[in-house]
Chain A
Amino acid sequence: MDFNSSDPAAGQALAEQPVAGQALAAEPVAGPRSEDALPDSATAAVKVVIVGGFGVGKTTLVGAVSEIRPLTTEETMTQAGVGVDDTLGIERKTSTTVAMDFGRISLNEELVLYLFGTPGQQRFWFLWNGLFDGALGAVVLVDTRRLEVSFDVIGRLEERGVPFVVAINSFPEAPKHDVEELREALDLPPEVPIVDCDARLRTSSRDVLMTLMHYLHHLAVTSEAS
């Protein structure tokens, strides 16, 4: 589920009583739990984007490997959303928000990896600009029952030159596909890795990220050699 972690900080609020007249600061801000604070030695961060349709398990995968409970950041569709609001069925044109869930893995004392889950549908592509700039790569999380979304996403990533791997989240009721059949269905080049995963499992989700990193490593070595 993509929107089940809307209030991860609930219950941890270090409540200060709102002061009358400070209307805009009426809600006390709960920060990270002390065990979730990054060490001061953390100096650099990298990001990987998990992209897929609604309900495909992006947040589940992020949550499985994240050292913090997934957090949610929202972006407002303003001018960028004009003409898009109608399809969302939202009445107020200026206040549409889109949520992105994300998690974090401290790789060592200095380096931090952030994982962002973002919806794959075309109407959310306006989110992609800031998101993919500087991203190491992407995981396209696929539900074999709904391949169309993945098809658009893959085309868009190829256009942007973002390296990606494809992970098939194994839903119990989803039809089993042969990997090579899927490669053909998704029109994927032979070098792009496809892996099966169970996004609920830490090891399985970790292995998906590992597949992406080995692929990126391969690309880096290949480009050095050429």
Chain B
Amino acid sequence: MSGAGQDWEDESPERLYVITGGRSGAAAQTFSLDLVTLIVAKAAPRPGIQPEHAAIMRLCHSPLSVAELSAYLKLPVSVVTVLLGDLLADGRVVARAPVPPAELPDRSLIEAVIHGLQQL
């Protein structure tokens, strides 16, 4: 074992608490992030910002879903949405909202999915 980081158990609540500054997902919900909301960075991270914020901005130089961010960062989705809430509030990333839910999916949307699957 070496390095200060090794003392933190990977999934310990304490570690997650520190990353989010003790906030839960409530604040980030104003942006209504879905697992498949696509996130794109507007610029490269500037030096000195919180490492997790910087990591997100580097990952999102091309569009990446919230779920993929969670997977690559190895952080729970609830933590990622808090971090994204900060970045969205500062205008450092933009969110491309998923297709809005409806009672029944739109017919032309389903046709686009069918067409796409046929290409597989």
Give residues in A with beta carbon < 8 Å to B.
8-9, 18, 20-27, 29-32, 37-40, 42-47, 65, 71-76, 78, 94-95, 97, 102, 104-108, 111-114, 116, 130-131, 133-137, 163, 202, 206, 209-210, 213-214, 216-217, 219-221, 223-224
Contact = CB atoms under 8 A, between A and B. Distances in A.
Given A39-B62, A46-B109, A107-B115, A95 B72 contact: no
B34 A94 contact: no
A106 B12 CA distance: 35
B77 to A, nearest CB: 6
A95 B96 contact: no
Nearest to B34: A134
25 contacts: A9-B72, A24-B18, A24-B52, A29-B72, A31-B72, A32-B72, A39-B62, A42-B96, A44-B38, A45-B99, A65-B120, A73-B35, A75-B78, A76-B78, A107-B112, A107-B119, A111-B116, A112-B65, A130-B77, A133-B34, A213-B110, A213-B114, A217-B110, A217-B111, A220-B105
A interface: dominant SS: mixed
A45 B112 contact: no
Contacts of B38: 38, 42-45, 112
A45 B97 CA distance: 8
B71 A224 contact: no
Contact of A221 (B6, B63, B96, B107): B107
Contact of A78 (B12, B13, B111, B118): B13
Nearest to B72: A31
Contacts of A217: 107, 110-111, 114
Contacts of A27: 5, 74
B40 to A, nearest CB: 7
A136 B104 CA distance: 8
B117 A206 contact: yes
Contacts of B4: 20-21, 23, 26
Contact of B35 (A22, A37, A78, A114): A114
B88 interface: no
A215 to B, nearest CB: 9
A95 B71 contact: no
A175 B27 CA distance: 50
Nearest to A219: B104
A132 B38 CA distance: 17
Interface in B66-113: 67-68, 70-74, 76-78, 96, 98-101, 103-107, 109-113
B117 A210 contact: yes
B106 A134 contact: no
Interface in B1-24: 3-8, 11-13, 15-16, 18-19
Most chain A C-beta atoms within 10 Å of own C-beta, residue among B6, B71, B103: B71
A75 B105 CA distance: 27
B76 A46 contact: no
Contact of A32 (B40, B64, B105): B64
Given A134-B98, A202-B120, A114 B36 contact: yes
A24 B51 contact: yes
Contacts of B16: 76
Nearest to A22: B51
Contacts of A30: 72
